[in-house]
Structure 1
């Protein structure tokens, strides 16, 4: 039938054509299945990530625990190293303790200075306010 203006849908019997409602229903079911599948995939991926985060967190916790013990033992080594230079044990502990207090003070000062540099996200606030104004004017 060359040269005719008939569409392929016209060749299909009327009862074989699906109504718009049936097509919409089918599309809704397919979309629902797709969304459920995507959620299941996301859950499985997140589960693997959570397990890895838990393992990493446990490893960091154990490392910190061992590090604290190492710090204590190394501090004693420094104290007795100073003592071996000729100072009394008490003075050696005071020197090491005083050094740690100075270090803690310097780190505290640095932390306070860093907190003072924290500012609100001004550009984000401005653009959000502009968006709200624009949406109010549209409506």
Structure 2
């Protein structure tokens, strides 16, 4: 036995038209989804910038520790070596001045790296501005 095909529903303009309330509901739902996605994008951007900041902080820490160890052992060797040709106090002062320059250079490099970290999610801010402009003038 063969089944009968489904009976067609009237396809007039009233069956296909949605009410204004339904359209507003769809638009509201779409806007909520859009803003949720923008928030997720902002979170991802902040996480990315936090990772960069963490790397820069790690560089500061690594430079500090390496600088300390180098300062300790090379300073001792340099003071002992220089004390063969001059007074020990002057040898220690010269070595201290050299490592002060090294510390300043390491600090400057860390500072330069930290300046590349952006505190705000720039792409999200830009797309949110575009979304707000579109919401104000959707036909443009």
Q: TM-score by structure 1 length?
A: 0.49
Q: Whose relative contact order is higher, 1 or 2, with alpha carbons under 8 Å and at least 6 apart?
A: 2
Compare CA radii of gyration and give the structure with the larger one.
1
Q: TM-score by structure 2 length?
A: 0.48
